[in-house]
Structure 1
Amino acid sequence: MVNLGDIFPNFKAETTIGSIDFHEWLGGSWAILFSHPADYTPVCTTELGRVVQLVPEFSKRAVKMIALSCDDVVSHKGWSKDVMAYAKQSGDFPYPIISDKDRALAVKLGMVDPAEKDAAGLALTCRAVFIIGPDKKLKLSLLYPATTGRNFAEILRVIDSLQLTASKKVATPVDWESGKPCMVVPSLSNEDAKKLFPNFKKVDLPSGKEYVRMTTEY
């Protein structure tokens, strides 16, 4: 298992673009590694198809994408044509898919869904999401069961927050979207906050404590 803030484990794997060393493939980029239970299945087709459609959005944020399941590379390559057709996109499949036939990565990274099994009775991968920063550290992890498709608009929203808060002394409140007000981090005194965010606003609360401070200056 990998915890938030840990260096994401390196591994070598076969993918639809050939053999990769994961850390070499990452380079100094942000990345999202997401798993799916199986090729040629309905929910997975909708998910990977949506990511295909969102390639420009991930690229705009300089985020690399890579998928994973327990199917082999031949299966991935065949199924990817269905995914492209479902997404109404043309050209080559735009991101690699890892083959984890022996489930070594699924087990190592805690990506197994014990409730979902293949025809041989082996557990399938769940719908995991790992967002990894340029420092190769895990910034976010999400685990969904096989029956529940992910919302990749939410994942893009989270990436916006992670990238913003990595460089600014702000935190993003509930339901935040890019361009909306942020919160000044509690570790900044009002005096220091004024230097960074001259027009920040304090929210009056019954306690009188000034811990909710909003800013659009970021």
Structure 2
Amino acid sequence: MEQEMTQSQTPGIPRINEPAPDFRAPTTAGELSLSDFRGKWLVLFSHPADFTPVCTTEFMAFAKAQDDFEKLNAQLLGLSIDSTHSHIAWIRSIKENFGVDIRFPIIADLKMEVAKAYGMIHEGASDTSAVRATFIIDPEGILKAMVYYPMTNGRSIPEFLRLLQSLQTSEQYGVATPEGWQPGDKVIVPPPATVKDAEERLQNKDYEVTDWYFSKKSL
């Protein structure tokens, strides 16, 4: 077996639009690998530790939104550098104390292999805990988005649901989405690449044209 990597050997943060780092790891639903999620979008998110208040609020919010993610063909997958037994005990505690079922699997990453591969260990925050990182991976295993938060501040789960919908819209229609975009809002049309296209863009009745480079349309 390969020796565990030191912090100085830890791979860098993965890059958007490249294959997400592969993994195979124990979870609360049995052993899972990245390939098990092929054909679906994957929302992989880490938390510093089980039985911590901020993480508990985040996990309950993810759990309450799980059906909304699944309607978008997306699966949730949590991770922390804790054991499977710790995860199970925490899941049971959340159910008993808050009445919320955690139905998505949680990776037990005691050796920090997945956390290091995804750049979740930040020395400035902690050498032994994963920061609050969230990765959205498409059905082909390509990393499409990633967001890092400090340990002290919880994430907004509705924003990740919105981001997923935005990514899917961009992929399906070849468009961009403006700040704060929500399903049903107008989208941004890619700017023209030639002078001729720019002139034609200004005459296009199907677009809301502000200038040759800035146009919106309804889907």
TM-score range, shorter chain: 0.7 to 0.9
Where does structure 1 lack aligned partners over 5 or more consecutive residues? 204-208
Residue among 43, 66, 72 paired with 1:61: 72
Q: Name 2:63's counterpart in structure 1.
A: 52
Contact 1:184/1:215, CA 8 A, preserved across alignment: yes
- TM-score, normalised to structure 1, is 0.86
Shift of the alpha carbon at 1:6? 1.0
Q: Name 1:19's counterpart in structure 2.
A: 31
Residue among 159, 179, 188 paired with 1:154: 159
Shift of the alpha carbon at 1:45? 0.2
Contact 1:49/1:84, CA 8 A, preserved across alignment: no
| Matched residue SS, 1:105 | helix
C-alpha distance after superposition, 1:54-84 (max 9, x if no partner): 0111011110110000000000011012233
Q: Distance in 2 between matches of 1:146 and 1:50?
A: 17
Judged with a 3 Å threshold, the aligned counterparts in structure 2 of structure 1 residues 55 and 193 are, in CA distance, closer, same or farther, namely farther
Shift of the alpha carbon at 1:108? 1.8
Q: Name 2:178's counterpart in structure 1.
A: 173
Where does structure 2 lack aligned partners over 5 or more consecutive residues? 1-12
Which structure's residues are more often strand, by fraction? 1
Q: Name 1:9's counterpart in structure 2.
A: 21
Sequence identity percentage:
33
C-alpha distance after superposition, 1:100-126 (max 9, x if no partner): 001122122110133444xxxx52100
Judged with a 3 Å threshold, the aligned counterparts in structure 2 of structure 1 residues 83 and 190 are, in CA distance, closer, same or farther, namely farther
Contact 2:191/2:212, CA 8 A, preserved across alignment: no
Judged with a 3 Å threshold, the aligned counterparts in structure 2 of structure 1 residues 146 and 126 are, in CA distance, closer, same or farther, namely same
Q: Distance in 1 between matches of 2:27 and 2:198?
A: 51
Q: Name 1:101's counterpart in structure 2.
A: 110
Contact 1:49/1:86, CA 8 A, preserved across alignment: no
C-alpha distance after superposition, 1:133-188 (max 9, x if no partner): 01110000111111111011111111111000001132111111111111111147
Q: Distance in 2 between matches of 1:193 and 1:62?
A: 35
RMSD: 2.1
Q: Distance in 2 between matches of 1:137 and 1:71?
A: 27
Shift of the alpha carbon at 1:190? 5.8
Q: Distance in 2 between matches of 1:107 and 1:21?
A: 16
